[in-house]
Amino acid sequence: MTGFFIDVILPIPIQKTFTYSVTEAEYEFIQKGVRVAVSFGNKKMYTGLVFHKHQTPPELYEAKEILQILDNQPIVNFHQLKHWAWVAKYYMCALGDVYRAALPSAFLLESETIVYKNQAFKNQDTLDDDEFLIVEALQHQSQLTIHRIEEILQKNKVLPIVNQLIEKSAIFVKEEIYEQYKPKLIQYIRLHPQYNDKSHLEHLLEALSRAKKQREAVLHYFQLMTSKKPVKSKQLEEVSGVSSAVLKALVKKEIFEFYHIQTDRISYKGATCKLKDLNEFQEKALQEIQNTFEEKDVILLHGVTSSGKTEVYTKLIKQVIDKGKQVLFLLPEIALTTQIITRLQQYFGNQIAVFHSRHSMNERVEVWNNVLGHQPKAQIILGARSSVFLPFSNLGLIIVDEEHETSYKQFEPSPRYHARDTAIVLSKIHQAKVLLGSATPSLESFYNAKEHKYGFVELTHRYGNVQMPSIELIDLKEKHRKREMNGHFSDILLQQIHDVLEKKEQVILFQNRRGFSPIVECKTCGSSPQCPNCDVSLTFHKFKNELRCHYCHYQRAMPNSCGACGSNQLNTKGFGTEQIELELKKHFPTHHIGRMDLDTTRGKYGYQKIIGAFEAREIDILVGTQMLSKGLDFGNVSLVGILNADTMLNFPDFRAHERAYHLMVQVSGRAGRLKKRGKVMIQAVNRSAGNTYPF
């Protein structure tokens, strides 16, 4: 007898789908792309994704029944499934790996999922009995597994209940939390329902004749109500000049009542403005791009640093969204989104959605649903590499900014995809166009352009006709011989920094190593602490006095003595951004020094705080790693210093010289972007290697 079956993708690294049986009614209701709860193995439960419907039973095993259908409508569309299949085949990984990487963790509940209480949640009145039991249990235990929730509720089908609690922001599931999610609620105020009757209103002001401040608050409330807009509590306090205690007293008397409206976490309040007019070189480049798109689907835009590529992008974005299509704007680094969001919001307002790993789980789910529903607030998606997996339905243009960046490559865990190449395949599925932009294109993209596989457009002039920065190479061997080094700074570089600060201008110093020192060595026996997992030297971080592995994140306290011979004569070798920051504070004690690396930007808003402070000129000297090199735009920077070019050139990688060139050109492009010509100083031991680069 023929039954009804579905093939399901499970979020596990196995190279196949699994067949489950369904009833005829379920078979008719289920669509490809909906989630179902299924059991796998003896006790494990997973959220599976329906990949295929059929009536052929599996040959090697008896199909289990599904536990629950979790969605009424698909959360993944046909284009995505086709794209995922290509990623799994091309990068030789399981479809389940792609499924796990693509979906926000809130969609992937399983028996081993760990559930935590959201401490910011207060509205327990909105919970039903089962939901209340889970929240109550989390008051006494810091975390629960799905298995434990099944035992508490004495039910097998608990995933829908957990999903409802996530939607209500009462709980969150295990993920890398940077800052705990708090829903953004705005408090509003309104008259108590009993005053809807005009007869009651007449007695209201008489009753408040002796409470002058309360009377003032009520009178100003009526004035604000003439605009026919909801009244915010803060707004009423400011207009009437009363404190929050007065409003609370009125609420207690049942004259007013508070209510809350949840707003989007990323929203633009200001008015949008007209797109900037392009200069003659940008206009020519835009015209060439439009003409080339008629013949080629992919174009490489080679524009020198500060040539105004972003303004060209905005013109293309406007043309595409005016046709009702979506735009994906890929960026290599989360730090870049901070500046780009601000610039694009001035033009496009709330049509922009942002998607990257520093957003909370709830924020990512919100963006996912908006993209899936083709909402007006998700016409332009701005994000890091994982954005290529979003559920686009009508994609018209993909812009890959800084296309040469290695950050577009995912290394761990699987799938080990390259976002630029994956985006090109995604564009083919949607019949969209791709624009690759860079001041230093990767060799493979440049080769494809020269072979006419891609279109090629150049933008060779800086915006405002500002000259490219002057480059000066400092020979460290010579400086050490003449004893003209002060710590890790040559006398010339220190003098240049001093001169720039005197003019109230800013400095960027680039050192592509974080931490204080990459090696700790025993002076007696020469051994150095190694990572037990990766067998590489541990990096010393002075701020926390600990040793860390930058590959697997293993960490331990800094030892007082050598683990091999017991000697307490430990020495550090090499230097990172932390050591440079401390040295600068000694050289320039009256100036503000900032540091931008992975250690200082771990918080969700870490990038925004540092970039905002530097733009506001609260930081005079900014020390950083390669994060500084990726398209950031600072108008007051006139000097860039590269402290040790040799470490990039001598890196054990066959593309080390290409990447060193990319980094040095990109970080050099941060200097002199507004009016005045900037200066770049490169300190290197191997002077001949530096001369091979066409700066």
pLDDT score for 228: 67
In a shared domain, residues 330 and 290:
yes
pLDDT attached to residue 346:
83
Please, which pLDDT band fits residue 175 given cuts at 50, 70 and 90?
A: very low
**Per-residue model confidence (pLDDT) at position 297:** 94
Instruction: Using the 3D structure, point to which of 262, 289, 313 is the last residue of a domain.
Output: 262
Residue after which a domain boundary falls, among 77, 107, 137? 107
Task: State the Cα–Cα distance between residues 418 and 91, nearest whole angstrom.
Answer: 9
**Per-residue pLDDT band at 37 (split at 50, 70, 90):** confident
Report strand pairing: 298-303 vs 433-438. parallel
Q: How many CB atoms lie within 10 A of CB 202?
A: 9
648: number of Cβ within 10 Å? 23
Alpha carbon of 421 to those of 8, 16, 113, 401, 667: distances in Å? Answer: 27, 24, 32, 13, 25
Contact 562, 526 (CB under 8 A): no
Task: Classify strands 18-22 and 4-9 as parallel, antiparallel or unpaired.
Answer: antiparallel
Residues 61, 191 within the same domain: no
- Closest to 316 in 3D by CA, of 306, 336, 301: 301
**Domain assignment present for 454:** yes
Q: 356 and 413: one domain?
A: yes
CA-derived radius of gyration, the chain: 30
Whole-prediction pTM: 0.73
Q: ω into residue 415 within 30 of 0, thus cis? A: yes
190-248 per-position pLDDT tens digit: 888 777 666 666 677 677 777 788 888 888 888 887 776 778 888 888 888 888 888 88
The total number of structural domains in the chain stands at 5
Reference 661, options 652, 648, 672; nearest CA is 648
In a domain, 526, yes or no: no
Gap between the Cα atoms of 258 and 249, Å rounded: 12
Rounded CA-CA distance 386/328 in Å is 11
For residues 506 and 399, membership in a common domain is answered with no
Please check whether residues 444 and 492 belong to one and the same domain: no
Round the average pLDDT of the chain to a whole number and report it: 84
Instruction: Grade residue 272 by pLDDT with cuts at 50, 70 and 90.
Output: low
The reply to whether 32 falls in a domain is yes
- Whether residue 309 is found in the same domain as residue 387: yes
pLDDT, position 198: 65
Give residues with Cβ within 8 angstroms of 105, minimum separation 6.
173, 174, 175, 361
Burial of residue 376, with CB atoms counted within 10 A of its CB: 0-12 exposed, 13-18 middle, 19 or more buried: exposed
Q: How far apart are CA 47 and CA 36, in angstroms?
A: 6
For residue 581, count other CB atoms closer than 10 A to its CB.
23
Q: What is the CATH number of the domain that holds 416?
A: 3.40.50.300
pLDDT of residue 692: 42
**Is there a domain that residue 555 lies in?**
no
Assess whether 43 and 132 both reside in one domain: no
Measured distance CA(431)–CA(395) in Å, rounded: 8
| Digit-coded pLDDT (tens) for 105-135 | 778 877 667 888 888 787 888 888 889 889 8
- pLDDT the model gives residue 650: 81
Residues 94 and 124 in one domain: no
- Give domain status of residue 358, yes or no: yes
Q: Do 336 and 457 sit in the same domain of this protein?
A: yes
Cβ-based neighbours of 140, under 8 Å, separated by 6 or more:
none
In this structure, is residue 33 part of a structural domain? yes
User: What is the pLDDT, as a whole number, of residue 159?
Assistant: 83
Are 419 and 284 part of one and the same domain?
A: yes
pLDDT tens digits for range 45-96: 888 999 999 998 888 888 888 988 888 899 999 999 999 999 999 999 999 9
Answer with the one of 50, 84, 107 that is the final residue of a domain: 107
From residue 395, how far is each of 17, 200, 324 by CA, in Å? 28, 56, 9
- Do 221 and 151 fall within a single domain? no
**What residues are paired with 64 via a beta bridge?**
20
Mean pLDDT of 537-554: 87
Task: Assess if residue 400 is contained within a domain.
Answer: yes
> Is 687 part of a structural domain of the chain?
yes
- Same-domain status, 254 and 354: no
Which domain range does residue 61 map to?
A: 4-107
State both tokens at 554: 């293993």
Q: Return the number of other C-beta atoms located less than 10 Å from residue 347's C-beta.
A: 19
